[in-house]
Amino acid sequence: MFRFTSIAACAAATLIAVQAGAVRAQNSYPTQTVKIVVPGPAGSTTDLLARTLAERLGKKWNRGTVIENISGGAMNIGARAVARAAPDGHTLLIAPPSPLSFSHVLYKEPGYDPAAFVPITMLATIPNVLVARKGLPVETMAEFIAYAKANPGKVTYASGGVGNTSHLSAEQLATRAGIKMLHVPYRGSQPALTDVVNGHVDIFFDTLTTSVPLYRDKQVKLLGVADLQRSSTVPEVPTISESGLSGYRSITWFGMVAPPGTPVALAERINRDTVEIMKTPEMQTFLSRVSLSPAALSPEETRKFFRDESELWTRVIKEAGLELQNVQ
């Protein structure tokens, strides 16, 4: 009885010590510069959102909060770097869908498990939109599909890399519309969009944030919004769903996660600080200006959102018959 009581007491004391340590770590966080990894190049919507948030987190925490762009490998390289970082909250990842929900379905050895990341929060969402080069001889989705059918395999579509949302959006379009297109992958969304503007590639699924200014300046065409409702930003542009492909949907979202093994209490602390900033009038104004919809969620709500998106895009990948890729 004495031995059992002693073991139980020791276990209880150990648990209390661990919990106390977690509380102290949470209260003292951060103790050094916080690095937020963006798994793509500067200038993208992800990068813009991350930098805006990092500036405000740095002020709140009174610590340096920096952005590190680690592009390449369809965002797998940057995500892998965070997956291998210390789980102490001083390295975080802000990314769009692929590395957080479905890269493991497309790549043989991405070097990390998306489900192992510790969710912090969802930051924002935005509809994707089908962008076309100015000289492409179409003005509507119906005309584009007819053009692609008349030129099988000749229409080129850019993407931010294999497995990027822009890639899967185009594959979903090809499957639904019964057309064949040639994939031209880039190392990130910004160079892909640049080549559409320069007329080197025909189409690209982009976010409203970066494409609308070019559309307003008549440098590109917008053929369809990839959400179920028209966007208030460009209400004149029909949805792809209403243009003949009923139910077609593709949105980009931005999640914030920590390395596997990060304590739940610490993730919740970072969540509270981040959500508080995301709900400020200043941040809401910023989101509206760049056509983003706020989506501040709890860690558990974020995990469920990731899981639902993984199911959606896994289905698209299978229907498109995409083969497993090697990480470059």
CA–CA gap between residue 39 and residue 85 (Å, rounded): 14
263 and 304 housed in the same domain: yes
CA–CA gap between residue 277 and residue 285 (Å, rounded): 12
Which pLDDT tens digit goes with each residue over 79-114?
999 999 999 999 999 999 989 998 888 888 899 999
* Pick from 73, 151, 81: nearest CA to 107: 73
58 and 152 housed in the same domain: no
Domain boundary among 181, 213, 243: 243
Residue 2 reports pLDDT greater than 70? no
pLDDT given for residue 114 in this prediction: 94
Residue 7 reports pLDDT greater than 80? no
Residue 205: inside a domain: yes
Largest CA distance in the chain: 86
- Give the contacts of 214 (CB within 8 A, at least 6 positions apart): 131, 193, 197, 220
131 and 117 housed in the same domain: no
293 and 215 housed in the same domain: no
Given a contact cutoff of 8 angstroms between Cβ atoms, the answer to whether 181 and 326 are in contact is: no
Residue 16: inside a domain: no
- Give the contacts of 15 (CB within 8 A, at least 6 positions apart): none
CA–CA gap between residue 51 and residue 32 (Å, rounded): 18
Give the confidence band of 283 by pLDDT, cuts at 50, 70, 90: very high
Residue 318 reports pLDDT greater than 60? yes
Average pLDDT over residues 110-133: 96
Which pLDDT tens digit goes with each residue over 132-180?
999 999 999 999 999 999 999 999 999 987 778 899 999 999 999 999 9
Domain boundary among 243, 267, 297: 243
141 and 205 housed in the same domain: yes
CA–CA gap between residue 175 and residue 201 (Å, rounded): 20
Please, which contacts does 211-216 make with residues 24 or more away whose CB atoms are closer than 8 Å? Answer: 211/129, 211/131, 212/129, 212/291, 214/131, 215/131
Please report, for the domain that includes residue 67, its CATH number: 3.40.190.150
CA–CA gap between residue 195 and residue 203 (Å, rounded): 9
CA distances from 218 to 123, 136, 211 (A): 30, 13, 11
292 and 144 housed in the same domain: no
Our count of domains for the chain comes to: 2
Strands (E), the chain: 34-38, 65-69, 91-95, 118-133, 156-159, 182-185, 203-207, 220-225, 251-258, 293-294
Residue 4: inside a domain: no
CA–CA gap between residue 222 and residue 216 (Å, rounded): 10
Residue 327: inside a domain: no
234 and 285 housed in the same domain: no
Partnered with residue 182 across adjacent β-strands are 156
pLDDT given for residue 187 in this prediction: 81
Given a contact cutoff of 8 angstroms between Cβ atoms, the answer to whether 238 and 139 are in contact is: no
Residue 192: inside a domain: yes
Residue 21 reports pLDDT greater than 70? no
89 and 163 housed in the same domain: no
CA–CA gap between residue 276 and residue 278 (Å, rounded): 6
* Pick from 65, 106, 47, 44: nearest CA to 274: 65
Please report, for the domain that includes residue 152, its CATH number: 3.40.190.10
Residue 66: inside a domain: yes
- Residue whose pair of structure tokens reads 């699924």 in the numeric block: 205
73 and 113 housed in the same domain: yes
pLDDT given for residue 185 in this prediction: 92
175 and 238 housed in the same domain: yes
171 and 221 housed in the same domain: yes
Residue 26: inside a domain: no
Residue 103: inside a domain: yes
CA–CA gap between residue 251 and residue 128 (Å, rounded): 5
Domain boundary among 243, 266, 290: 243
- Find how far residue 194's CA is from the centre of its chain: 20
pLDDT given for residue 128 in this prediction: 94
Average pLDDT across the chain, whole number? 90
137 and 229 housed in the same domain: yes
Range of the domain at 176: 127-243
Token pair, residue 269, equals 């602390």
